[in-house]
Amino acid sequence: MGQLPYALAAFDLDDTLLREDGCMSAFTRDCLRQAQAQGLRIALASGRPVQAMERIADELEMAAHDGFLIAFNGAQIVCCSTGEQLYSCMLDRPDQLWLCQKAREWGAFVHVYDGSRLLTPQANEYTDIESRLTGLEAVVCPDLPFVIPPYTPKVLMMQAPARLAEIERQLAGQACGRFALCRSKPYFLECVRPQVCKGAALKQLCAHLRVPLPQTIAMGDSYNDLSMLQAAGVGVAMGNAPAAIREKADLVTDTCARDGAAQALCRLLQGEAWPSEAFPTGGATRGVLHSAP
């Protein structure tokens, strides 16, 4: 078996590997399993907590191939084979209280993470969405400031997209670099420590594994994936990603619904040339990967 051109590939989950129903296609699952069998290390990188990533890791048999989970947008890195936590960067109680206070002032919903629970001061549809996505129990705590955990990986602010965009601008202005902010979905604003992002976590993991960044691939579809796409040797945006993400990626593949991540991985590992035509929106990407015949 010849040596692969890449040593590590990091994948976002929702709308990258996972379709709208939260599942992988058999084609994507088998492609990633085969790549691991050939020697490629796999990392899953998501805003989700570790517990909400384990099902996908089990499906991909990552424990048997020394895979890794980059959780909470890079606030934690866990080894699948040992369960060891390689990295953790948490928000303390004062940070959480400040964010919860601002959410209340600006009319945003909010929740914090406490082990396998989501703690929120009032019931809301967005925390329910997160609960369904992650499998974590949503617990309504009207006295949240008194039960807030000492440390948490992130605080999630939630509101309708247009209103949340305004809240994000207000928060960025008042926080003065105290937090890193990013959107994982139009209605989810992730608030983490300023040094936390998927790109920084990928660099941490590469340093741990002694893998040069040029030997890495990253694939994603949203704004919280951008740092990872830009840090990797090759950053691949999904065809369903917003134009702003596609324009900043190295390459663009097909949509999640059409197994774009698996298509791109197969072609990159086989060393296939990427089509050289310009990306239709006029971005700086080097090329576009079309659907497999």
H-helix or E-strand spanning residue 166: helix 161-175
Rounded Cα–Cα distance for residues 140 and 120 (Å):
5
When pLDDT is averaged across residues 48-74 and rounded to a whole number, the result is 96
Check pLDDT > 70 for residue 92: yes
Confidence band of 274 (pLDDT split at 50, 70, 90): low
- Same fold flag, 8-88+196-288 and 91-192: no
Residues 233-262 have pLDDT tens digits of: 999 999 999 999 999 999 999 999 999 999
- Give the per-residue pLDDT at 284: 35
For domain 91-192, give the fold: 3.30.1240
Residue range 101-121, pLDDT digits in tens:
999 999 999 999 998 899 999
pLDDT band at 71 (very low <50, low <70, confident <90, very high): very high
Percent residues over pLDDT 90 in the chain:
85
Closest CA to 216 of 205, 224, 226, 225: 205
Q: What are phi and psi of 11, to 5 degrees?
A: -125, 130
For the chain, the structural domain boundaries read 8-88+196-288, 91-192
Q: Which CATH class is domain 8-88+196-288?
A: alpha beta
Yes or no: say if 164 and 192 are a contact pair by the CB < 8 Å rule: no
C-alpha 35/C-alpha 19 separation (Å) is: 20
> Is residue 1 pLDDT above 50, yes or no?
no
CB 109 within 8 A of CB 159: yes
- 153-194 pLDDT, tens digit per residue, is 999 999 999 999 999 999 999 988 899 998 888 999 999 999
Looking at every residue in the chain, the average pLDDT score rounds to 91
Does the global pTM surpass 0.75? Answer: yes
3-state secondary structure of 135: coil
pLDDT at position 277, please? Answer: 41
